[in-house]
Amino acid sequence: MISICSVAPVGWFEVLDIHEELLKMGVRDTLITPKEGVELIGLPARDDIAVGWSLRRKLPLYVINIAKAIVKSRPHAVHVHHEYSLFGGKFKGIFFPVLLMLIRLLTKVPIIVTLHTIIPLDDKSVIRYKHLDSARLLAHLSVSLFRLLLRVAIKLINALSDKLIVGNERGRDVLIEHYEVARDKIAVIPFQAVKLYELTDVGEVCNHVGEKLVVSYGSMRKDKGFESLIKAFSDVIEQIPNARLIIIGSVRPHQTSWAYLNKLMKLARELGLEKNVSFICSTFVSTDKLHEIFRKASVFCFPYEEKMVIGSSGAVAEVIMLGKPIVLTKTLMLLEYKDLEGILVFYTSRKRLSNTLISVLRNLDRIKDRISSSDVNYFIRHRTPKAIAERLVELYTNLIKRKA
């Protein structure tokens, strides 16, 4: 039996489902996760899950706490998930290479790092990411200095790890071309598992007679594009008065803001959309509530504004199995879904978003006929928690053998 120590939030990217599959396959996986994630989903105490850090801590103590938990578990390999604000903010994220260095010094085992966010180093990408709300502390840096910080961060992560995992081929290409990472150092394994529903849930139509329901879902952050969607929806209502928009969002400490939610609600009121736009937002929206709304949805919409960030969309993976139209921005983050053109409808501007939503809502039956269930099923088969766990076990086993 191989022993792995994984560092990742339990409520993120179906991490817990993948963890459970690893356990079923005989892997002793100790999952180290933040305190807030355990609290949000109400996870009971378990021997295989350890609290390693708190997002609320102002000092980067996660470096020491996670390293101590890893040493205690005595793993054959360590798998750490990386995102620039994962440990409670971008300032604390700067110390991530120190964590890898401690793991290297204290364990001498293979280190695998999954990169959830990759920023291309061209001027357009750097400027756009630098000025996102979530990166406001970095907005005053020059483009050259910010690019240097990104390059140094990935260089250090690469030097201190044995394998890097990215979710798609585009991420691999950017690591090679922009950060000069060796191709054989990178593994392409989807880290975003699709949400699996009971067959009775799939393809159910909206239960509200005559109502066409658009659902958008994600963290309450500006880069999710909710403002653009609300503005576009005012045009939709003029053409389709019985259309309704529900925005479901999570508001979590150090990552999202209640003030931004209040701003969105004020915008909806100013546009006279109180009867057409609803918000369901809390620190943690229950799975039962999500599924109830997902089943009633006519269309899903994800108006992301992180156009230059390479990563993976948890929200899209959450709903793709339902086989309903999904309207979304043509971003680098969503390129991994490009083969599902039957179910996805892309747009490129706010005006195009209005027109696209109107067209989709008017032609739901025609679009549904066009959706290829075989394409969706093929996509799902390669992205279930079990399929991802199987690929991870193969990777872990090869690295452990090589290190022995």
The crossing angle, in degrees rounded to 10, of helices 169-179 and 143-159 is: 110
Fill in the amino acid letter for 73.
Answer: S
pLDDT per residue of the chain (404 residues) written in tens, 0 to 9: 899 999 998 766 578 889 999 999 999 999 999 888 787 777 887 899 999 888 777 788 889 999 999 999 999 999 999 987 777 776 777 889 999 999 999 999 999 999 988 888 888 777 777 665 444 566 677 888 888 988 999 999 999 999 999 988 888 999 999 999 999 999 999 887 776 654 343 333 344 445 799 999 887 877 788 999 999 999 999 999 999 999 988 766 555 667 888 899 999 999 999 889 999 887 666 667 777 788 888 999 988 876 556 666 667 777 777 778 888 877 655 556 666 665 677 776 667 889 989 998 988 877 776 666 656 666 777 788 899 999 999 999 999 999 87
> How far apart, in Å, are the Cα atoms of 94 and each of 82, 279, 316, 345?
11, 34, 29, 37
3-state secondary structure the chain: CCEEEEECCCCCCCHHHHHHHHHHCCCEEEEEEEHHHHHHHCCCCCCCEEEEECCCCCCCCHHHHHHHHHHHHCCCEEEEEECCCCCCCHHHHCCHHHHHHHHHHHHCCCEEEEECCECCCCHHHHHHHHCCHHHHHHCCCCHHHHHHHHHHHHHHHHHCCCEEEECCHHHHHHHHHHHCCCHHHEEECCCCCCCCCCHHHCCCCCCCCCCEEEEEEEECCHHHCHHHHHHHHHHHHHHCCCEEEEEEEECCCCCCCHHHHHHHHHHHHHCCCCCCEEEEEECCCCHHHHHHHHHHCCEEEECCCCCCCECCCHHHHHHHHHCCCEEEECCHHHHHHCCCCCCEEEECCHHHHHHHHHHHHHCHHHHHHHCCHHHHHHHHHCCCHHHHHHHHHHHHHHHHHHHC
Q: Model pTM?
A: 0.78
Q: What is the pLDDT of residue 21?
A: 94
The full set of domains in the chain, from first to last, is: 3-192+384-403 (3.40.50.2000), 199-381 (3.40.50.2000)
